[in-house]
Structure 1
Amino acid sequence: MKKIGRIAGILMLAGVVFVGTSVGACGGGEAEGPTEPTGPDLSGVIYAGAATDEALAAMLLAASKTDAAQGVVVDTPAAGATLPKDVPPTIEWHVKGSSASREVSPGERFVRAAKVVSSFWGPREAWAHGAPVNGRAYLLSFSTPKSPELVRVFTTELSYTFDAASWTKLALTGEPVTLVVTNAIFEDNRVAQDGGPFAGEAVTFLIGP
């Protein structure tokens, strides 16, 4: 009888250990929870005009659309041009279906008036909680064969003048530089319906010694 009682006690103890282990394993799984989705990589982006990081994130998450009339044409530099290394250039562009003499978006006159002041301080970080973007905004992606996202600029303007540090970063690569300008039309930091994003034609240029 004592032997039977001892066996019964061992079986009961094994059952308690099994239940406790199962509960602990379940509890650990619940504590970890699902992995939070990560947003697009905005690190190192230069913001100009009235651009915001919320608008850029919305643009990068949206599916690209094809519309030749909405693509951007780069006016300066020309394809195959060689730009001087020691003079940060001004990049200019226009939307293919608009006048090359420039279209003025809402609020752009104010942005242009403030440009002289803002350029004194150099490139800024995103105005994450500033006024939302309405109208067009443009993402300039400068890449080289070895660096697919070497310099990125997000702006609401139709031109961008390099600061010395960013231009030097491109020049020191010693490689041809390719520029693609992607644009989208925004409503309160969100890409509008049928508002893109639209990728422009790539332009490749050189930076002289």
Structure 2
Amino acid sequence: MSAETAPIRVLVVDDHPLLREGVAAVVQRQADMVLVGEAADGREAVALFREHRPDVTLMDLQMPEMGGVEAVATIRRDFPHARFVVLTTHRGDVQALRAFKAGASGYLLKSMVRKDLVETIRAVHAGHRRIPAEIASAIAEHVACDGLTEREIEVLKQAAGGNANKSIASHLCISEDTVKVHMKNIFAKLGANDRTHAVTIAINRGIIET
């Protein structure tokens, strides 16, 4: 078989066996694709990538041991031309941006796998980028917004855990007044009415994880 007609070699990475099985079944039904391996977490993905050198890797974001963004970045350090399609349940623009900055070429919601997976694999293998319209719109909507600082994200994570300002201040070794300033800035940047609203927005956009 010539290089031009060789099947696209695919590695699937997800910590849910049923999802891996479903994706594997879709891939194996394609005449121009072959499944070369399955991994349950990021560390296993790195090892299998080195062993099989797949053309396209389907990578989940949230996994034990090592998450998808870290795994993509780790692999890309040694294999800069590696191609990835992120599979996720998260619609957040921040999560998508992290994945693309790490080196992903495609971003696909798991609810779209049955309909769009095959063409997304082919497009990414051909050197194109693929991103759902709704995710692209969310990125465009927030592209001019000031992102939260690392400290503001730390404060918001503490707030998401149900901690009051005094408790947050103690945990982060800052004053309660400083926490209040951070919360005010967070509300302004996210367009939030209160801390519950801010936490909800941050989770939906992928700024913090539950």
TM-score of the aligned structures, taking structure 2 as reference length: 0.22
Larger Cα Rg: Structure 1 or Structure 2? 1
Higher helix share: 2
TM-score, structure 1 as length reference: 0.22
> When you count strand as a share of all residues, which structure comes out higher?
1
